[in-house]
């Protein structure tokens, strides 16, 4: 059988290593830029992700327009343009990149972009808009309050208000915004009790589920969570929420 860590691709499933966000090295600028340079150079030689998000065309154009046509001639400050245009969809890791772990090159582009974004938020000046929008916990809890949610939803549909958001915060007036629900999933499921269901373990599972509700489902589309729980209940699989969940 071929060694799955050699060559391109392989039959092994992708492996995602735990993000070491609690360590000091995770936020060290020199280590981050060394890894950005290593990964960008590999991406430059592959280019399978050219048709995904804007991060890749920005990277490849910067290299192609440089004096040498190689990454070493690209100003490292341009790396931030690549980082800023990644919205962490994970498509490159899941569908395109032939060098994800367990390959020896160990490429996890989204995880690296997340690390660079974390460094930026911790050590560089970040616009108020970015701080606010990225705080999904705060936005969800505040905008899903019973008296607040209908007002926020109405304002997000009001064209003059969207024009104002565009001018002051850079949020495109035609960009779809999530609807906030005044009855979040966790509030709907406060009486969730599956103690009467006996888990039926199998060779690969323990027959029970811990549900990560996520901010999106909890505050914006709780019906998705309700439907999923209903499927588990129908199959007599007990479900409980994670006690302390942060987005």
150-192 per-position pLDDT tens digit:
999 999 999 999 999 999 888 999 999 999 999 999 888 887 7
Q: What confidence category does residue 107 fall into, taking pLDDT thresholds of 50, 70 and 90? A: very high
Does residue 6 surpass a pLDDT of 80? no
Q: What is the per-residue pLDDT for 191?
A: 79
Separation CA 146–CA 149 (nearest Å): 6
Separation CA 216–CA 199 (nearest Å): 28
* Cα-Cα-Cα-Cα dihedral sign, residues 134, 138, 144, 150: negative
Which residues does residue 239 pair with via DSSP β-bridges, in sequence order?
209
Q: What is the per-residue pLDDT for 58?
A: 95
Q: What is the per-residue pLDDT for 165?
A: 92
Does residue 5 surpass a pLDDT of 50? no
Q: What is the per-residue pLDDT for 96?
A: 87
Give me the percent of the chain exceeding a pLDDT of 90: 57
For 14-45, how does the pLDDT look when each residue is reduced to its tens digit (9 = 90+)?
A: 889 999 999 999 999 999 999 999 999 999 99
Q: How far apart are the first and last CA of the chain?
A: 41
Q: What is the per-residue pLDDT for 193?
A: 78
Total-model pTM: 0.73
Whole-Å CA distances, 204 to 11, 16, 200, 207, 240: 20, 19, 11, 9, 19
């Amino acid at each position: 059988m071929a060694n799955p860590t050699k060559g391109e691709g392989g039959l092994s499933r992708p492996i995602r290593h735990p993000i070491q966000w609690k360590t000091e090295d995770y936020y060290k600028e020199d280590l981050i830029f060394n890894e950005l340079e290593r990964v960008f150079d590999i991406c430059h030689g592959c280019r399978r992700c050219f048709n995904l998000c804007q991060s890749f065309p920005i990277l490849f154009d910067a290299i192609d327009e440089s004096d040498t046509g190689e990454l070493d001639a690209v100003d490292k400050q341009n790396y931030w343009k690549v980082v800023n245009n990644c919205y962490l969809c994970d498509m490159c890791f899941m569908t395109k990149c032939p060098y994800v772990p367990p390959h020896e090159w160990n490429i996890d582009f989204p995880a690296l972009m997340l690390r660079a974004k974390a460094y930026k938020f911790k050590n560089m000046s970040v616009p108020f808009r970015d701080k606010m929008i990225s705080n999904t916990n705060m936005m969800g809890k505040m905008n899903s309050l019973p008296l607040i949610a209908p007002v926020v939803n109405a304002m997000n549909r009001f064209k003059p208000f969207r024009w104002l958001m565009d001018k002051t915060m850079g949020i495109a007036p035609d960009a779809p915004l999530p609807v906030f629900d005044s009855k979040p999933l966790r509030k709907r499921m406060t009486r969730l009790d599956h103690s009467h269901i006996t888990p039926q373990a199998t060779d690969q599972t323990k027959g029970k589920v811990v549900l990560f509700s996520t901010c999106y489902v909890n505050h914006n589309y709780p019906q998705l969570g309700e439907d999923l729980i209903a499927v588990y209940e129908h199959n007599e699989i007990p479900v409980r929420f994670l006690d302390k969940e942060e987005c």
